[in-house]
Amino acid sequence: MLSRIAAVLAVLLATYIYRSGHIVKHHIITLPDLPPAYFSGGNYTDHCTLITDPNPTDTISTCEDIAFWDHLDAEGTLARRLVLLGCDPNRKAWNTVMGPLRDPAPRAYFWLFDTDTQALQPVRLEGYPAQHDFHPLGLEAEPSRAGNPSALFIVNHAREQTTIEQLVLDPARPGIATYVRTLTSPAFVSPNAIALTSSTSFYVSNDHLMTRRLPSPLGKVLPVIESVGGLPLGWLAHVSVAPDGTFTHRVVARGIPFPNGVALSPGGNHVALASTTLGQVLFYDRDPATDDLTFSHGVRVPFLPDNLYYAEDGALVVTGHPHFPALVQVAANATGAFAPSWAVVLRPISDTMRVASEGDFAKRAYDLRAPLSASAIVPASLTHEVETLFQSDGSVFGSSSTTLVDSRTGIMYMSGLYERGMLVCRP
């Protein structure tokens, strides 16, 4: 039976590779000719700084996801902006997406970075169950309004199953995240990223149907086939949590190869979702009254997209991995291995501009300031301008997974899946 399943999956994989040769060529076979580092806001040696743990423990590393925690005044104006960092130095021993599943015991760390004072502060999980693992992946906090507490949700890849942790952040005690409850469900097969729709509801991506948690050898083979083969087995769900802790889980988009980062537009009318294997960002129109989604279009990017961030001005920041084998080598501690980094900004193109030149629009050159232009890998989008924000061959900063941009200052904050520290670049 297993041999038959393997044969069927092999055919599916071969078919997908035949149909999507650009993905194999640019992200699996060809190592892109990236510079040591490029930042669109200026020379990286002068404009970029690596924020690291002030203590020798080096706990600010392998921070897969970072998120802004905004403090608003009574009028809704941004008064203070902090960055939350979920950092798991043990990721090379426990990674339920890429493997291995060797040692789930060491807990991850949670940090807070003040963008104004540049101060770092560890965040303690108050009331968190003593025997409960902590391996954060996607996370998001709602803004604090007029000093009121904020809801915080974190995807936790614990040893027995992946859960979603519900916590509370209080501006009066910023160094403490108070535990509320752990959300568990058979529907949480492989949760990855979160986008809040309220203080008690969110979208959550499910990146795989076949996971590393399957018994050997299935757990080592099937997720790789699902990933590399681009099998459309993932989905996006919406979760609403009631005051008593019960919750509804409803699939709102399905049939997606490796759905990863997800983001809600500032106005709440659109949702962006990264399809890592496809090398695309998928855009959906959202009904705010029901949270239902309608697929709109996709935009190809020159790497395998990981996490997404919507800036206040509507620009979407996309971060990802230009060369998958290099990322695997870094995860395996291969000597001298570097995993490249790349982040781009997607800005909507007006209908007038698109219609006026639609004939040759997709063939035009774009992103020409970057050392390696995105137009060398993927054609121009009909709906969005694509511009490189940062790229590196991995020697300066590697394995980029999340990028935030403060639209007030233009400052960029980047984390890396297997990288040390958080990169901060100022224009």
Strands (DSSP E) found in 131-279 = 136-141, 144-145, 150-157, 162-170, 173-183, 191-198, 201-206, 234-241, 247-256, 259-264, 270-275
Cα within 13 Å of Cα(184), Cβ side: 9
Its pTM stands at 0.93
pLDDT, tens digit only, all 427 positions of the chain: 444 444 444 444 444 444 444 454 566 678 999 999 999 999 999 999 999 998 888 899 999 999 999 999 999 999 999 999 999 999 999 999 989 999 999 999 999 999 999 999 999 999 999 999 999 999 999 999 999 999 999 999 999 999 999 999 999 999 999 999 999 999 999 999 999 999 999 999 999 999 999 999 999 999 989 988 899 999 999 999 999 999 999 999 999 999 999 999 999 999 999 999 999 999 999 999 999 999 999 999 999 999 999 999 999 999 999 999 999 999 999 999 999 999 999 999 976 555 555 556 667 899 999 999 999 999 999 999 999 999 999 999 999 999 999 999 999 999 999 999 999 999 9
Residue among 392, 364, 399 at smallest CA distance from 378: 364
- Position 280, amino acid: Q
**Cβ neighbours of 215 (radius 10 Å):** 7
Nearest to 410 by CA among 35, 36, 42: 42
CA-nearest of 1, 11, 378, 3 to 225 is: 11
- CB burial readout 150-169, b (16+ within 10 A) else e: bbbbbbbbbeeebbbbbbbb
